[in-house]
Amino acid sequence: MSRDSLVALTEKLRQYIERQTTNMRAPIDPLKRVALILYYLSDGGSLRKTANAFGVSRQALSVIIRQTCRAISIHLGPKYIKLPFAEPETADLAEGFDRAHRMPQFQEQYFGITLYSARMVIECAFGRLKARFAALRRPMDINLDDLPHVIYSCFVLHHFCEPVRRLWMISLCWEQYKVKRTYSLHTVQ
């Protein structure tokens, strides 16, 4: 992520993660909070390593991760990831998936091939997500109640990072999918 992207992300989150100065201490700057989150998620998800790298306590880092991921999930999530909230939206998504991947309701062998090819697209997407956020590759030392916000934040941050590269990577995944699908169809017939 470039410095400009980091600053832009911080500005979008500033009003939700900025804390007030008290007589006891000065708050951690929002830019540092976002940098902490990105480092934690991209470098394997180790609280100790991230805390030592940024000179903050593990307790403070744990609170920052929870607060910032919750802010990303709640305030940026709807902008970058569209989820269905009503039955007609869900039906439209299922129908679109059916059109895109031609999931038949008959012929078991053909169904297996198309299921495999649809699974390849999903695995490609998750593989790219795990490549960007190494924290998803190992168990995280985060409370289970906060874990959904952390994982959803990875999805949102992934979409934030890729407005330009998205089309290129989708076409690359689609090309890999078509090659493997063609190969699978020829080997089965």
CA distances from 88 to 80, 91, 93, 94 (A): 21, 5, 9, 10
- Cα distance between residue 72 and residue 38, in whole Å: 12
Structure confidence at residue 139 as a pLDDT band (50, 70, 90): confident
- Cα distance between residue 135 and residue 169, in whole Å: 22
Nearest residue to 34 (alpha-carbon basis) of 172, 4, 46: 4
DSSP H helices in the chain: 3-17, 30-42, 47-54, 58-71, 77-80, 87-101, 108-132, 147-161, 165-188
- Cα distance between residue 9 and residue 116, in whole Å: 36
What letter would DSSP give residue 29? P
For the whole model, what pTM was predicted? 0.68
Residue 67 pLDDT exceeds 90: yes
Structure confidence at residue 64 as a pLDDT band (50, 70, 90): very high
Residue 53 neighbours by CB under 8 Å, 6+ apart: 39
Structure confidence at residue 146 as a pLDDT band (50, 70, 90): confident
Q: Tell me what pLDDT residue 184 has.
A: 46
Residue 181 pLDDT exceeds 50: no
